Structure 1
């Protein structure tokens, strides 16, 4: 679906949707409890539905897990399923079959699992869904060594799985732990469900902190009875930036857009958007160069680039190399988005440099089947002097199906082409 947005400020109040990151973790933990646990999630999306469907097959002898396009689902379910099963088939769609799974794959292989590509042809492997691999062999405990700068989701998957094994285990993080807030969120959920993980942070080695997670085997997930997914800072970030841009458009300092049900004490790292916005507010009319390190909050980059375009001056986004293996190559697609809208941006191997002028022109944007590119382009329309046309807006269904409903509720004007 393609839409055309007429530029204009947003104003009003919306209810923040449930955190996808928190909901994934609550759903998984609840499914592992002997007693029933009610998980309250106010808003579902395609990624959460993928996890829900996979968890429903945990009682099957040889499950076929269709992870759709959800990297979180695949990376969480891989170690978890092999802690419980002798064989499982994993399917995926979109870019998921192409996205890397190393070094988690190699660590699982050294602990009892075998990965095979193309040996099964499940009946539900249809459309753009394809088999990624078949995994056989039970996961074993022991020592796991993982770099911390590839994907925190590998660590989370193992943290869910290893307490279920007979043996004790240790996860050693051999390099700087990026996206550490997501690991801390996992640990919070595990503690809520009675799982004990000991965390050790070693002294700095070559300026990089190292972590070890000590995990006893034979633990049991204990139902807390009822849990609720908190509000999502990742997706609220788009409307938090929309508030900043709308205030600029009206030349006012009072909030124009309010997002309810966000936990200020959340472990979600993307609440960092508040400090990014405040920094840009203070330097909007200066020529001061800003440098934003996004190693812990990579999902903010698309909307952060839009925010950077709203100020006069240069903003550099660093430590964002992992964005090249998301739903799209997000460094390339953010560069294309800002360029097509008339902005001045430079793409670097692991980051971006935005030369802000305080405004954008408008134009045509390819969503590249990436929900965060589509939403960022919609918010960028606030800065534009001419309409913005976005191709493939259905991509928002991955994380925020009612995004354009909320956009319209706040006064956003668009029509379907």
Structure 2
């Protein structure tokens, strides 16, 4: 679906969609529980449905897990499934079969699993790996700068094993808030993980033969990763701002940092209860370390384009292996609408303050690229055409409905 957006100020209130980061974790923990547990998820998405569908395969003798395009689903469930099964097949679509699973793969191989790939297909899905051998406990070593999702997958799996285990992180842990979110969910399911930090490096000690025991109430939080787009729309709009409802203002979610980053850029955020108000204010450029908040880079790049002065985004190397190469994608999209910026191996330098002129851009089959460029229309001088606008379904199927409700105007081409 290609759409043409007519520049309009956005104003009003919007309800948060469910955090897929939180929902993935709650669904997995609930599925591993000894007694039935019901998870309340206010909205769903392609990624959440991928995890839900894969967990139904727990009852199969040889599970065939179609992870769709969800990297979280794949990386979380690789060790979890092999803690329970002797054999499993993992499938994926889009860029997922090409996205890395190392060094998790090598650690699992060192602990009883063998990987192969016969390149089978099922509809649009391609085989990612065929694994044989039950995962065994022991010492796992992983770098902290590759993917926190590998650590999360092991933290879910290792309590199920017979032996005790240790996860040793060999370099400072980036995206630590995602691991903290995992630990919080595990704690609520009465899983004990001992965390030791020495000279900036973490070791997680995990006793085997634990049981997942669910709490009474399980509800996925509102999603800060997607609410960030409305924070940006509020501070970029020219009228009375945008109210976001249904969020935890003290959430462990790392992307709650959109509030502090917006304030650093000069925006005004008012907080009350489970809501915030984002108000239009002149923005200025800042330096942003994206190591802990990679998913915010697309929308922060749009905010930087509208801000006076230069914004430098660095430590964002991992964005090159997301649904798209997000650094290259944002460089291309913003260049096409007249923004002055430069791309580096690990980031972007954006010289803001000049008008955004409008133009035609690719959505790169990436939900966050599409939503970022939709918000860019708020400060654009001319229409923005986005190719592949349906990519929002991956995390936020109702995005275009909310965009229109807040005053946005678009038409399908």
Q: TM-score, structure 1 length as denominator? A: 0.94
**CA distance change for structure 1 residues 42 and 158 in 2, over 3 Å: closer, same or farther?**
same
Q: Residue 307 of structure 1: CA displacement?
A: 0.5
TM-align CA RMSD: 1.3
**Structure 2 residues without counterparts, runs of 5 or longer:** 269-280
Please say if residues 87 and 134 of structure 1, whose CA atoms lie closer than 8 Å, have aligned partners that are also in contact. Answer: yes
Q: Residue 356 of structure 1: CA displacement?
A: 0.1
Q: Residue 126 of structure 1: CA displacement?
A: 3.0
Partner of 2:229: 238
Q: How many residues align?
A: 401
Question: For residues 255-404 of structure 1, what are the structure 2 equivalents within 5 Å?
Answer: 255-281=240-266, 290-357=286-353, 359-404=355-400
Please say if residues 36 and 225 of structure 1, whose CA atoms lie closer than 8 Å, have aligned partners that are also in contact. Answer: no
**Structure 1 residues without counterparts, runs of 5 or longer:** 204-208
Partner of 1:15: 15
Please say if residues 78 and 157 of structure 1, whose CA atoms lie closer than 8 Å, have aligned partners that are also in contact. Answer: yes
Question: For residues 46-125 of structure 1, what are the structure 2 equivalents within 5 Å?
Answer: 46-118=46-118, 121=120, 125=121
Q: Residue 358 of structure 1: CA displacement?
A: 5.0
Match of 2:159, SS state, is helix
Please say if residues 339 and 356 of structure 2, whose CA atoms lie closer than 8 Å, have aligned partners that are also in contact. Answer: yes
Please say if residues 285 and 308 of structure 2, whose CA atoms lie closer than 8 Å, have aligned partners that are also in contact. Answer: no
Question: For residues 27-46 of structure 1, what are the structure 2 equivalents within 5 Å?
Answer: 27-46=27-46
Partner of 2:278: none
> 1:183-239: per-residue Cα shift (whole Å, max 9, x none)?
000000000001000001112xxxxx2000000000000021330000000000000
Partner of 1:407: 403
Is 1:222 aligned to 2:213, yes or no? Answer: yes
Partner of 2:143: 147
Match of 2:122, SS state, is coil
2:177 to 168, 174, 181: 181
Please say if residues 233 and 270 of structure 1, whose CA atoms lie closer than 8 Å, have aligned partners that are also in contact. Answer: yes
Match of 2:59, SS state, is coil
Match of 2:187, SS state, is helix
Partner of 1:206: none
Q: Residue 309 of structure 1: CA displacement?
A: 0.9
Counterpart CA distance in 2 for 1:282 and 1:140 is: 50
Please say if residues 137 and 165 of structure 2, whose CA atoms lie closer than 8 Å, have aligned partners that are also in contact. Answer: yes
Q: TM-score, structure 2 length as denominator? A: 0.95
> 1:258-301: per-residue Cα shift (whole Å, max 9, x none)?
11011011100001001111111269868x75210010000000
Please say if residues 331 and 342 of structure 2, whose CA atoms lie closer than 8 Å, have aligned partners that are also in contact. Answer: yes
Please say if residues 358 and 383 of structure 1, whose CA atoms lie closer than 8 Å, have aligned partners that are also in contact. Answer: no
**CA distance change for structure 1 residues 70 and 257 in 2, over 3 Å: closer, same or farther?**
same
Match of 1:346, SS state, is strand
Partner of 2:271: none
Match of 1:157, SS state, is helix
Return 13-22 or 273-282, whichever deviates more.
273-282
Is 1:135 aligned to 2:126, yes or no? Answer: no
Please say if residues 265 and 285 of structure 2, whose CA atoms lie closer than 8 Å, have aligned partners that are also in contact. Answer: no
